[in-house]
Amino acid sequence: MDKNQWAYSENVKKHFMNPQNILQIEEDKYPADGKGMVGSPACGDMMMVLIKVANNRISDFKWKTFGCASAIASTSALSELVLKDGGMTLEEAYKVTPEDIIRELGGLPSNKIHCSVLGDKALREAIDDYYNKNNQKNPSQESVSRVVCDCKNVTEEDIRMEVLEGVTDFEKMKEVTGASTVCGKCEQDVRDTMKKFVEQYYKDDIYNPGE
Amino acid sequence: MSLYLDNNATTSLHPAVKEAIIEFLDSYGNPGSMHEAGRRVKDRLDSAREEIASFLGTTPTKIMFTSCASESNNTILKSLLLHDFGFKPHMITSAIEHPSIITTARYLEKNGVDVTYLPVTKDGIIEISALEKAITDRTVLVSIMHANNEIGTVQPIEEAAKLLTQKNIFFHSDMVQAPGKIIFNLDSMDIDAASFSAHKMHAPKGIGALYFKNSKAENFPFTPLIHGGHQENGLRAGTENTIGIIAWAAACRAIKADVQNEIDYIKNLRDSFENIIKESISDIVINGESAPRKPCTSNVSFKYVEGESILLRLDMEGIAVSTGSACSTGSLDPSHVIMALHNDPETAHGSIRFSFSRENSMEDVQATAAALKKTIDFLRSISPLTPKG
Ligand SMILES: Cc1ncc(COP(=O)(O)O)c(C=O)c1O
Ligand code: FES
Cα separation, B343 vs B334, whole angstroms: 11
Q: Which of A25, A44, A46 is opposite residue B326, by nearest beta carbon?
A: A44
Q: Which of B147, B158, B136, B156 is nearest to B91 (CA)?
A: B136
Residue of A nearest to B346 (CA): A42
Residue A4 pLDDT: 44
| Cα–Cα distance for residue pair B15/B250, rounded to 1 Å | 10
Judging contacts by C-beta atoms under 8 Å, the chain B residues touching residue A114 are: 332
3-class secondary-structure state, position B43: helix
Same fold, A9-138 and A144-211: no
Residues 6 or more apart whose Cβ sits within 8 Å of residue A120: A78, A96, A97, A98, A100, A101
Ligand 2 centroid to Cα of residue A186, in Å, is: 5
- The pick from A146, A174, A175, A185 for probing ligand 2's pocket by mutation, whose C-beta has the most ligand atoms within 8 angstroms, reads A185
CA–CA separation, A104 vs A81, rounded Å?
Answer: 8
pLDDT class of A210 with cuts at 50, 70, 90: very low
Residues whose CB is less than 8 angstroms from the CB of residue A151 and which lie 6 or more positions away in sequence, other chains included: A181, A182, A183, A186
* CA of B175 vs chain A CAs: smallest distance (Å): 31
Helical segments of chain B, H only: 15-24, 36-56, 69-81, 99-110, 128-134, 157-166, 242-256, 259-280, 307-316, 326-329, 336-342, 345-349, 362-381
Domain enclosing residue B103, as ranges? 15-256
A177 lines ligand 2 (CB under 6 A): no
Compute the distance between CA of residue B89 and CA of residue B83 in angstroms, rounded to an integer.
9
Burial class (CB in 10 A: 0-12, 13-18, 19+), B330: exposed
Same domain, residue pair B174 and B239: yes
B233 with B276, same domain: the answer is no
Residue A75 CA to residue B383 CA, distance in Å, equals 12
Chain A residues with beta carbon closer than 8 angstroms to that of B326: 44
Asked, for residue B315, whether it belongs to a domain, the answer is yes
Residue of chain B nearest A47, judged by CA positions: B384
Q: Is residue B77 part of a domain?
A: yes
Please provide the DSSP assignment of A51-108 as one string: EEEETTEEEEEEEEEES-HHHHHHHHHHHHHHHGGG--BHHHHHT--HHHHHHHTT--
pLDDT computed for residue B387 by the predictor? 72
What span, in angstroms and rounded, lies between the C-alpha atoms of A77 and B285? 32
Collect all residues from A whose CB is shorter than 8 A from any CB in B. 16-17, 19, 22, 24-27, 37, 41-48, 64-72, 111-112, 114-115, 165-166
Give the span between the Cα atoms of B245 and B46, in whole angstroms: 10
**Are B193 and B87 part of one and the same domain?**
yes
Residue B86: which CATH number?
3.40.640.10
The answer to whether B134 and B92 have CB atoms below 8 angstroms apart is yes
Question: Residue ranges of the domains in chain A?
Answer: 9-138, 144-211
How close A129 gets to chain B, by Cα (Å)? Answer: 18
Q: Using the CB atoms, write b or e for B211-227: b if 16+ within 10 Å.
A: bbbeebbeebebebbee
Residue B83 sits in the same domain as residue B145: yes
Name the closest residue on chain B to residue A46, using Cα atoms. B384
- Positions in chain B short of pLDDT 50: 389
Residues B228 and B363 in one domain: no
pTM of the model: 0.87
Chain B residues closer than 8 Å to A69 by CB: 308-309, 312, 327
The closest alpha carbon to B12, from B247, B236, B294, belongs to B247
Binned at pLDDT 50, 70 and 90, residue A45 comes out as confident
Residue B337 sits in the same domain as residue B237: no
Band of the pLDDT at A205, cuts 50, 70, 90? very low
B306 and A45 in contact by Cβ < 8 A? yes
How many domains is chain B built from? 2
Classified by CATH at the fold level, domain A144-211 comes out as: Arc Repressor Mutant, subunit A (1.10.10)
Interchain CB distance below 8 Å, A22 and B381: yes
Instruction: Say yes or no: B206 and B339 in one domain.
Output: no
Q: Is B306 on the interface with A (CB under 8 A)?
A: yes
CATH number of the domain residue B332 falls in = 3.90.1150.10
Do B7 and B49 belong to one domain? no
pLDDT digits (tens, 9 = 90+) for A51-95: 999 999 999 999 999 998 989 999 999 999 999 999 999 999 998
**Residue A1 pLDDT exceeds 90:** no
CA distance A66 to A22: 12
Q: At what angle do helices A156-164 and A170-177 cross, to 10 degrees?
A: 120
Q: Distance between CA B55 and CA B255 in Å, rounded?
A: 9
CA B321 to chain centre: 16
Q: How far is B228 from chain A (nearest CA, A)?
A: 37
What ipTM, to 2 d.p.?
Answer: 0.86
User: Domain ends where: B256, B277, B303?
Assistant: B256
Q: Calculate how far, in angstroms, residue B10's C-alpha sits from the geometric centre of ligand 1.
A: 9
My answer on whether B105 and B190 are in the same domain is: yes
| pLDDT score of A22 more than 70 | yes
Among residues B200, B229, B256, the one where a domain terminates is B256
Closest CA to B147 of B121, B170, B124: B124
Point out the ligand nearest to the CA of residue A178. 2
A190 class by beta-carbon count within 10 Å (0-12 exposed, 13-18 middle, 19+ buried): buried
| Nearest protein CA to atom 4 of ligand 2, as residue | A183
- Render pLDDT for B106-142 as a digit per residue (tens, 0 to 9): 999 999 999 999 999 999 999 999 999 999 999 999 9
Question: How is domain A9-138 classified at the CATH fold level?
Answer: Sufe protein. Chain: A (3.90.1010)
Record: contact B309-A25, CB cut-off 8 A:
no
Same structural domain, B190 and B302 = no
Q: Which of A70, A64, A79, A68 is nearest to A11 (CA)?
A: A70
Angstrom CA distances, B287 to A203, A205, B181, B336, stand at 40, 41, 19, 13
Instruction: Report the C-alpha gap between A119 and A142 in whole angstroms.
Output: 18
Residue among A10, A9, A74, A13 nearest A46 (CA) = A74
B343 touches chain A (CB under 8 A): no
Q: How far is CA B170 from the centre of its chain?
A: 20
The reported pLDDT for the residue numbered B245 is 98
CA distance B40 to B53: 20
DSSP string for B128-154: HHHHHHH--TTEEEEE--SB-TTT-BB
Pocket test for ligand 1, best of B181, B200, B202 (most atoms within 8 A of CB): B200
Total number of residues shown for chain B? 389
Question: For residue A26, which residues of chain B lie inside 8 Å, CB to CB?
Answer: 388-389
pLDDT per position as a tens digit, A144-198: 577 888 878 788 888 998 898 888 899 999 999 999 988 888 899 999 999 998 8
One domain for residues B165 and B292 = no
Residues of B in contact with A17 (CB under 8 A): 313, 316
Q: Based on the domain organization, do B32 and B137 belong to the same domain?
A: yes
Band of the pLDDT at A107, cuts 50, 70, 90?
Answer: confident
Decide if B22 contacts B8 (C-beta within 8 A).
no
Residue of B324, B247, B332, B259 lying closest to B296 (CA atoms): B259
Residue A117: what pLDDT? 74
